[in-house]
């Protein structure tokens, strides 16, 4: 059985970038619902119950399942994995990228601002609900709904939730303001960990 992970910080700790109201609703209601629905669908697939969510999503296409079950796992398992990562890559006040990480980003994008601009552009380009991701090779990609890069066997190192439930209470329909504020709570040390590089600034 999967469980809702505890946050490492209070609901109000990411304010004003993300308000306590959004955090509580997003974590306690939205994420909890993904966990509950994932557990419900796995009732019918006992052989999947001992696997990690990463294993389930990575192997999903090759598992022998009805299309209805596969879709339910894709949506709710994806929702569980994506949000679990999202909570972890944020922290109150954020943190600066280490020299090593910054060097890699600069190599890929020229400078940090250009990287942020590209990431924000990708986030604005998500039509409807979805996510924008930074992948281990430092490319940026987006997915619709709760699809995870894990479905393609790729473990993301950073993800931004651009579903309206992630920002509407604070920013209404102004997604660019949400993205701009979100940079201030990104924990780049956590991103470095996912990339297996040093986190010392
Ligand atoms: Fe979300």
**Per-residue pLDDT tens listing for the chain (201 residues):** 999 999 999 999 999 999 999 999 999 999 999 999 999 999 989 899 899 999 999 999 999 999 999 999 999 999 999 999 999 999 999 999 999 999 999 999 999 999 999 999 999 999 999 999 999 999 999 999 999 999 999 999 999 999 999 999 999 999 999 999 999 999 999 999 999 886 554
Helices in 5-98 by DSSP H: which ranges?
20-24, 32-42, 53-59, 67-88
Query: Which 8-state DSSP code applies to residue 185?
Result: G
In a domain, 3, yes or no: no
Q: Which of 161, 168, 165 is nearest to 147 (CA)?
A: 161
What is the domain-level CATH number for residue 105? 3.55.40.20
In a domain, 129, yes or no: yes
Q: Which of 126, 134, 111, 110 is nearest to 186 (CA)?
A: 134
CA of 89 to the centre of ligand 1 (A): 14
CA of 47 to the centre of ligand 1 (A): 28
Print the domain residue range for 107: 18-201
In a domain, 11, yes or no: no
CA of 86 to the centre of ligand 1 (A): 9
CA of 103 to the centre of ligand 1 (A): 31
CA of 180 to the centre of ligand 1 (A): 17
Query: What does pTM read for this prediction?
Result: 0.96
> What phi and psi, each to the nearest 5 degrees, are found at residue 166?
-80, -20
CA of 99 to the centre of ligand 1 (A): 31
The pLDDT score that the predictor gives to residue 197 is 86
Q: Which of 125, 200, 195 is nearest to 160 (CA)?
A: 125
The pLDDT score that the predictor gives to residue 97 is 96
DSSP letter for each residue of 118-163:
HHHHHHHT--SSEEEEE-TTS-EEEEETT--GGGGT---SEEEE-S
In a domain, 153, yes or no: yes
CA of 166 to the centre of ligand 1 (A): 5
The pLDDT score that the predictor gives to residue 35 is 98
Inter-residue contact 3 to 35 (CB < 8 Å): yes
CA of 116 to the centre of ligand 1 (A): 21
In a domain, 89, yes or no: yes
CA of 34 to the centre of ligand 1 (A): 10
Work out how many domains the chain is built from and give that number: 1
In a domain, 52, yes or no: yes
The pLDDT score that the predictor gives to residue 194 is 94
């Amino acid at each position: 059985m999967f469980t809702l992970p505890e946050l490492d910080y209070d609901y109000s700790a990411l304010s004003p970038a993300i308000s306590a109201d959004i955090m509580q609703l997003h974590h306690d209601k939205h994420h909890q619902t993904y966990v509950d629905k994932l557990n419900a669908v796995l009732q019918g697939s006992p052989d999947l119950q001992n696997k990690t969510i990463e294993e389930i999503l990575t192997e999903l296409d090759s598992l022998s399942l009805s299309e209805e079950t596969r879709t339910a796992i894709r949506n709710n398992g994806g929702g569980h994995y994506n949000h679990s990562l999202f909570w972890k890559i944020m922290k109150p006040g954020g943190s600066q990228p280490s020299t090593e990480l910054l060097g890699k980003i600069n190599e890929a994008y020229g400078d940090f601002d250009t990287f942020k601009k590209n990431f924000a552009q990708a986030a604005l380009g998500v039509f409807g609900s979805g996510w924008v991701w930074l992948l281990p090779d430092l490319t940026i990609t987006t997915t619709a709904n709760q699809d995870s890069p894990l479905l393609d066997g790729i473990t993301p190192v950073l993800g931004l939730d651009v579903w309206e439930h992630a920002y509407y209470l604070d920013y209404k329909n102004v997604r660019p303001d949400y993205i701009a504020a979100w940079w201030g709570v990104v924990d780049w040390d956590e991103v470095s960990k996912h990339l297996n590089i040093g986190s010392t600034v």
